[in-house]
Structure 1
Amino acid sequence: MTKTSKTDWKRLRAAKDSDIDTSDIPELGDDFFLHAELHTPPKQAVTMRLDADVLTWFKEQGQGYQTRINKLLRAYMQAQQKRQS
């Protein structure tokens, strides 16, 4: 991983399975994980022209600014798709 994790791994290692609250969602069984597949949309490098102040603002938010721009564009795309259907 290139990013530092903010997870408290020491606390998680010390936790017991019985400490996990699954009251809002049932625990997934072994059968689920036997057949589970991870699908992520492929990314494609593009050259894009953005207003300098917009790009500066996103970069000032820290590492991962391209991912945040992508999430924002995806949210807009999905909103437009809902409007069109």
Structure 2
Amino acid sequence: MNKKQHSKNTTEPENPEWTALEVNSAMRLTELPNSLQKKLRGQRGPQKAPRKLQTAIRFDADIVEAFKAQGPGWQTRMNDALREWLKQQA
């Protein structure tokens, strides 16, 4: 069965087709309170206690590549390496 036949003949049980009544009674996102609009759009609120500071910094390409080569979490590992260096300087 190809994709066209499959999409015409089946309805997703978790996402059924809307009836005319459902379409007519649906509420637009802009009609909801702003706080709920932000949640539905996936926007985060302000951090309660900001722990990170955004900055722009330049590293040599080989340094960044070495951290990235270790996989996801390279920025955290780079932060940890800088923190360890600071401890050794004290």
TM-score range, shorter chain: 0.3 to 0.5
Larger relative contact order, structure 1 or 2 (CA cutoff 8 Å, min sep 6): 1
Which has the greater radius of gyration? 2
Q: What TM-score results when the alignment is normalised by the length of structure 1? A: 0.45
